[in-house]
Chains A and B, each alone.
Chain A
């Protein structure tokens, strides 16, 4: 049996770095860090400033919060964060809206990395209490 690929590994294996022309044979410059543009949120898929601003501690001290007013699922349809969350049970959907289960969330920040909203809807917050152990 082949090794299991983690959910994180599934989308990161081919996803980064950003190479839209990977299959090209010719002299297309590799697009390291993504195409530049007016709304270019992050240069290498790195988390944006919100996380940096609050992340004084290690990742496990953080938990994600979805800011409903910025979330696409509110007015349109989006499920990227719940699909890509690597921790089973850390995110759930209620009537199409994503919710974080803080006791299960490990604060890895993938949901923030992948959020496609114009204003990132995921805020990484310092936990008030120690995280519960991740269920096996």
Chain B
């Protein structure tokens, strides 16, 4: 066993090496640079945490992960990691790992066998397959998400499956789809190395994507000039590094972007040639209910109509709406008007968790297209993801209630037919009606059957909705009073979700299983199992396959394809079928590889071509489309739609949006008005409440709060206030106060002059702390197009706690 001291030395050694390399910007050092002694074996894996997709090298000794270092061969992080990444190995070793299945009997979770657990789930599904739902996440590996999607849509003819990406990336998806006709960014992280200007829209990159931000800061250290602009509603660590911090009134970001577009047109900054050749104009449809895709297609508008629609957004008017000085709006417009500059925009939850999130995404794409800042390295509008495989699993595999794999839609008969063909299912197996999206699914689950609550059994994997859903008192907590509802949770630790679970399944995590993730820049990554899970914990994918097999044995016809074969039939190298639903035989073959190779066939339709599994074993991830060359090698694509890099662009086209919604190879520039937020501060609730993350904790903190170093660095949640607001109320720094909204109240300590600096009239609470659930306060008003809730804006009030805890 390695001692702590040795571990620290190793970690420090490797950290120092990585640091030296990153600072010097040398070519990546050979892998031989890592320590190899002491019987440690090393292998590669993407980090478990965020959507950046850094690669780590994992050191294993005596069946335990004992060391982590940044992978110098990885393009994404070049050996560097953030504070969470360096400690990622410890996420496996919290003392309270779940090690056996637990069933709630008389209110208490009691250990049961795996056979009982699988049988219980199978019986619940057999009783009412149409009232069953799966809630997953962008933390599902690609094969796990694919298996779940095939099981429920192809097996149970039920589309009630949605991931927590609905709470996170859904507005980015509808943004990309309605502008380019196909999801995910055209650019990649290389833009960060090439841009002259980086605009972060409501995006605290220094805390949320620190490794990406350090790529940019590093360029400055080398003497390059990069202008950094932070457009936000609260001063953050990112703002400290920025040349311009532009603070706007919450929800007025659409006005700012309209103001920029207006000036581009009126002051001659528009790239007329680019727009004429590559763009159309679009607005919200007259009748959004006319067809299911009407909100994404929109109605055509002429340039003159577009120009007229923007005319109210003069700099002076935008200043009134947003609080941003007219001169600053002009400064931004001048930057976009400068064709010699390369401008990259990034955003994350600021745009997406927005009750006009789709429109915010569209307008940002719009100013890039209007000014022609698109399609050259460094010129790109790029959304960043928060989950390690939000792109790879949720968006590409399509584990959403309206998608089929590879960008296909449930509502499209051709797409259903194609999916049935690829899955070898009888025609008509896939249900033509879309399932419940996240918010609706949980609302239906938390409503009794006689009042229309048509979800009876809900299986949660790899996420923690009991903490992350907005307005928990409405969409999660009522479950406790509904005895006929059955909540199944596959987890690694006890969480706010397992508190209400009827059945808890212990899962393997990260390098305890094989896996594949897809990061923000279309990069698909692979890793192998390196250590065994604790106790009786088993892979999420195995759990799904075991239930499918049990249903098959119970006679559920959906578990068979049209030739009568089980949906998940896998063969070994000798061509013999392997019963992988028997746990001891699950790793007899590489189930991930089998599922991935099957899934690959789905990916070409939207030109998201993936390479064979073995290519990902060799690489530190590859960015799709990955296309085979005449010499047999596989080439990734960095810049989509640009002739110089994307093999699917016609020769001579320069730029081609080959999935254009208007079928003319053009992208859509949308007009969307600035609108009021669903709930704004008033006399009774005078503060804006914003929620978010902190650097040290990832998502709901179930992993990072069990890592001592991260816990010590950020031990609990707090409410950030402007010092003058706090003093006006007589709050001492650190005093426990009550934050109240129309949905609930919460006690927590106030912190001013701390990490973030909200302006007067705004408060901020991080959501990682399960002891202080800020989502009991949030409103969760959804974007009408993406169905993604707003976590960043609602009205709150603060008061002294009557009795201090």
Q: Is A24 an interface residue (CB 8 A)?
A: yes
Q: Are A45 and B19 in contact (CB under 8 A)?
A: no
Q: Are B83 and A72 in contact (CB under 8 A)?
A: yes
Find A5's partner among B67, B240, B730, B735 (CB 8 Å cutoff): B735
Binds B, one of A14-22, A51-59, A128-136: A14-22
Alpha-carbon gap, A15 to B772, bound state (A)? 13
Q: Are A78 and B695 in contact (CB under 8 A)?
A: yes
Nearest-neighbour CB distance to chain A for B469, whole angstroms, equals 17
Q: Are B80 and A116 in contact (CB under 8 A)?
A: no
Q: Is B705 an interface residue (CB 8 A)?
A: yes
Q: Are A5 and B11 in contact (CB under 8 A)?
A: no
Q: Given A76-B83, A83-B754, A38–B66 Cβ distance below 8 Å? A: yes
Q: Mark B703-720, 1 if CB is under 8 A from A, else 0.
A: 001111111111110100
Q: Are B804 and A2 in contact (CB under 8 A)?
A: yes
Q: Are B733 and A18 in contact (CB under 8 A)?
A: no
Residues of the A chain whose Cβ atoms lie less than 8 Å from the Cβ of B770:
20, 23
The contact size tier of chain A is 35 or more
Q: Are B712 and A114 in contact (CB under 8 A)?
A: yes
Q: How many residues of B contact A (CB 8 A)?
A: 77
Find A2's partner among B81, B82, B207, B735 (CB 8 Å cutoff): B735
Q: Is A34 an interface residue (CB 8 A)?
A: yes
Q: A35-B95, A38-B67, A119-B16 are in contact. List 10 more A-B contacts (CB 8 A).
A: A14-B716, A14-B771, A20-B493, A23-B770, A37-B89, A37-B708, A77-B210, A115-B713, A117-B83, A120-B8
Q: Given A5-B733, A116-B713, A39–B95 Cβ distance below 8 Å? A: no
Residues of the B chain whose Cβ atoms lie less than 8 Å from the Cβ of A5:
732-735, 749
Q: Mark A68-86, 1 if CB is under 8 A from B, else 0.
A: 0110101111111001000
Q: Are A118 and B712 in contact (CB under 8 A)?
A: no
Nearest-neighbour CB distance to chain A for B232, whole angstroms, equals 16
Nearest-neighbour CB distance to chain B for A68, whole angstroms, equals 10
Find A13's partner among B95, B749, B755 (CB 8 Å cutoff): B749
Within 8 A of A (CB), among B111-139: none
Residues of the A chain whose Cβ atoms lie less than 8 Å from the Cβ of B706:
20, 31, 35
Nearest first, the 9 closest Cβ-Cβ pairs linking A and B are A15-B715, A119-B12, A5-B734, A10-B734, A118-B11, A34-B708, A37-B93, A37-B90, A116-B713
Q: Is B64 an interface residue (CB 8 A)?
A: yes
Q: Are B19 and A118 in contact (CB under 8 A)?
A: no
Nearest-neighbour CB distance to chain A for B67, whole angstroms, equals 7
Q: Is B570 an interface residue (CB 8 A)?
A: no
Q: Are B11 and A20 in contact (CB under 8 A)?
A: no
How many Cβ-Cβ contacts under 8 Å join chain A to chain B? Answer: 188
Q: Given A36-B93, A74-B19, A116-B83, A11–B12 Cβ distance below 8 Å? A: no
Q: Is B241 an interface residue (CB 8 A)?
A: yes
Alpha-carbon gap, A119 to B7, bound state (A)? 9
Within 8 A of A (CB), among B73-120: 80-83, 86-87, 89-90, 92-96, 108-109
Q: Is B423 an interface residue (CB 8 A)?
A: no
Nearest-neighbour CB distance to chain B for A26, whole angstroms, equals 7
Q: Is A127 an interface residue (CB 8 A)?
A: no
Q: Are A31 and B64 in contact (CB under 8 A)?
A: no
Nearest-neighbour CB distance to chain A for B114, whole angstroms, equals 21
Q: Given A9-B734, A34-B711, A69-B16, A79–B716 Cβ distance below 8 Å? A: no
- Which of A1, A36, A38, A42 counts the most chain B CB atoms within 10 A? A38
Q: Which residue in chain B gives the minimum CB-CB distance to A75? A: B19
- Which of A18, A22, A42 counts the most chain B CB atoms within 10 A? A18
Residues of the B chain whose Cβ atoms lie less than 8 Å from the Cβ of A74:
19, 23
Residues of the B chain whose Cβ atoms lie less than 8 Å from the Cβ of A40:
4, 90, 708
Alpha-carbon gap, A39 to B217, bound state (A)? 29
Q: Is B213 an interface residue (CB 8 A)?
A: yes
Q: Which residue in chain A gives the minimum CB-CB distance to B12? A: A119
Within 8 A of A (CB), among B5-28: 5, 7-9, 11-12, 15-16, 18-19, 22-23
Q: Are A80 and B15 in contact (CB under 8 A)?
A: no
Could you list 12 examples of A-B contacts with CB < 8 Å? A2-B804, A10-B733, A14-B716, A14-B771, A31-B95, A38-B7, A39-B8, A39-B90, A74-B19, A75-B18, A119-B11, A119-B12
Q: Are B705 and A7 in contact (CB under 8 A)?
A: no
Q: Is A41 an interface residue (CB 8 A)?
A: yes
Nearest-neighbour CB distance to chain A for B230, whole angstroms, equals 14
Alpha-carbon gap, A28 to B108, bound state (A)? 12
- Which of A21, A25, A72 counts the most chain B CB atoms within 10 A? A21
Alpha-carbon gap, A25 to B66, bound state (A)? 33
Q: Are A4 and B714 in contact (CB under 8 A)?
A: no
Nearest-neighbour CB distance to chain A for B48, whole angstroms, equals 14
Find B15's partner among A6, A25, A70, A116 (CB 8 Å cutoff): A70
Residues of the A chain whose Cβ atoms lie less than 8 Å from the Cβ of B510:
none
Q: Is B245 an interface residue (CB 8 A)?
A: no
Q: Are B494 and A116 in contact (CB under 8 A)?
A: no
Residues of the B chain whose Cβ atoms lie less than 8 Å from the Cβ of A113:
712
Residues of the A chain whose Cβ atoms lie less than 8 Å from the Cβ of B671:
none
Nearest-neighbour CB distance to chain B for A6, whole angstroms, equals 7
Residues of the B chain whose Cβ atoms lie less than 8 Å from the Cβ of A4:
732-735
Residues of the B chain whose Cβ atoms lie less than 8 Å from the Cβ of A31:
94-96, 706
Residues of the A chain whose Cβ atoms lie less than 8 Å from the Cβ of B804:
2
Q: Are A41 and B237 in contact (CB under 8 A)?
A: no
Residues of the B chain whose Cβ atoms lie less than 8 Å from the Cβ of A83:
754-755
Find A38's partner among B65, B211, B711 (CB 8 Å cutoff): B65
Q: Given A35-B94, A37-B707, A96–B241 Cβ distance below 8 Å? A: yes
Q: Is B206 an interface residue (CB 8 A)?
A: yes
Alpha-carbon gap, A6 to B92, bound state (A)? 34
- Which of B8, B67, B237, B241 counts the most chain A CB atoms within 10 A? B8
Within 8 A of A (CB), among B681-727: 695-696, 701-702, 705-716, 718
Residues of the A chain whose Cβ atoms lie less than 8 Å from the Cβ of B714:
80
Q: Mark B185-206, 1 if CB is under 8 A from A, else 0.
A: 0000000000000000000001
Residues of the B chain whose Cβ atoms lie less than 8 Å from the Cβ of A36:
93, 95
Find B771's partner among A10, A11, A23, A39 (CB 8 Å cutoff): A23
Nearest-neighbour CB distance to chain A for B763, whole angstroms, equals 16
Q: Mark B604-623, 1 if CB is under 8 A from A, else 0.
A: 00000000000000000000
Q: Is B751 an interface residue (CB 8 A)?
A: yes
Alpha-carbon gap, A69 to B730, bound state (A)? 42
Q: Given A18-B711, A37-B89, A78–B83 Cβ distance below 8 Å? A: yes
Alpha-carbon gap, A1 to B64, bound state (A)? 52
Q: Is B800 an interface residue (CB 8 A)?
A: yes
Within 8 A of B (CB), among A75-113: 75-80, 83, 96, 113
Q: Which residue in chain B gives the minimum CB-CB distance to A11? A: B715
Q: Are A77 and B207 in contact (CB under 8 A)?
A: yes
Q: Are B83 and A79 in contact (CB under 8 A)?
A: no
Residues of the B chain whose Cβ atoms lie less than 8 Å from the Cβ of A116:
83, 87, 696, 709-710, 712-713
